[in-house]
Amino acid sequence: MSTTYRVQNPATDEIVETFDAATDAEVEGALAKAAAAYREWSARPMSERAEIVARVAALFAERKEELAKIAAEEMGKPISEGIEEAEFSAAIIKYYADNGEEFTKDQSIPTGANGTAVIRRLPIGPLLGIMPWNFPYYQIARFVGPNLVLGNTIVLKDAEICPRSALAVQKIMDDAGIPEGVYNNIFATHDQISTIIADPRIQGVSLTGSERAGSIVGAQAGQHLKKAVLELGGSDPYILLDTDDVKEAAKLAWTTRMYNTGQACNSNKRMIVMEDIYDEFVAELTKLAEAAKAAPADAQGENTYSCLSSRGAAENLHDQIQRAVKEGATLRAGGELADKGAFISPAVITDIPVGSDIYYEEFFGPVAVVYKVSSDEEALELANNTQFGLGGTVFSKDTERAAAISRRLEVGMANVNTPAGEGEELPFGGVKRSGFGRELGPLGMDEFVNKQMYYVEG
């Protein structure tokens, strides 16, 4: 069988280790174990499940340096950001261990009938998770945290370039005392994923990934009548109406855009700036881009940038930048592809023609795209002129002015005077072609759940 899972250091393009994809027998084994384990796991008291899941959270925190080093070699994540990701993953999982019983308590329904009625929130069975490479721990945490506490079991397919991350998470589950079959990492092929979705033992599927992948998985889930949660791409607007300090505003916008080397679904991919501060803002971004220097993941500091996840990702981003210039955009800085590895210098682009094909594409990497507007209405119109609807933010000294625009953003997450509201308690998800469903917060525990009406006569 051909090998599809690999550790390929994006800084050097060197293939460090390879892993065979699962056999069909191994896939069947994972499904059988998840189904068998569900009966016992879901029957346990939630307090008992939560106690075990809390140990999972503790091990994420305890092993944060090890996890960060794995992610750095697999997909180029700076070590400091990998540690932050592992810490956040621990916080997310602990949040559901601490709050699961509150989030799933019976909900009374007033009724005029001669009886009592409640909504009970119950598990539904084995679930399939299909996770991406850009946050190899956080993405898993926000899926498994609520569902393990709820009593569902998991079959987890991680990204093909993150096999060591996947195995590290499996070891955390095992070492924390998660029973066999409750969490099953599987190096499945795309064809096997289709088989898993179709299998009657699987009751739902969660995917975080590209719009294309979401379309395929969503169609398959629909065909087989499975509940799906899809978190897909984004082209989030970042509106700057006014500021007392353009330099600081530009620095915040830049550091936000460069986080995870620009490879975040909800990054500020379209900066929309009022015309009276636009020139100074773009000049500051250009300075920051020109000062940025390439550095290894373990040697990141101020004014440094890491590589993208793969040479292919870097080449694709470079092609997008070149197509934008051909369409009439101005490349103010950066956008240079290294001869080797997945390094591409952070770029600043202006004047992408609104309505062009490239305007509607997502730039998944260190590219600051800036647009000039002359009114609040123009800013709002431009912000909503996208097929995506993940998040968006509005900055202004006048909070109500910013809030008035933010309330009309066609997004799942609207923010005022901050790049993004983030925390384990804050729901995450989008509308339009950014997908559907929510993760994190109380809503994250309300997706793969049987909202059972329970009525007692008399």
* Catalytic (active-site) positions: 231, 265
CB atoms within 10 A of CB 117: 15
CB atoms within 10 A of CB 357: 10
CB atoms within 10 A of CB 390: 28
The DSSP letter of residue 375 is: S
The DSSP letter of residue 369 is: E
Cα–Cα distance between 130 and 162 in angstroms, integer? 12
Residue that is written with structure tokens 């040697």 in the block: 299
CA angle 117, 146, 32 (to 5 degrees): 95
Bridge partners (DSSP) of residue 109 are 117
CA angle 106, 108, 111 (to 5 degrees): 150
Bridge partners (DSSP) of residue 238 are 271, 393
The number of angstroms, rounded, from the C-alpha of 275 to the middle of its chain's C-alpha atoms is 32
Bridge partners (DSSP) of residue 347 are 367
Supply 297's token pair: 């993941």
Residue from 257, 253, 267, 240 nearest 416 by CA: 240
Instruction: Say if strands 14-20 and 3-9 run parallel, antiparallel, or are unpaired.
Output: antiparallel
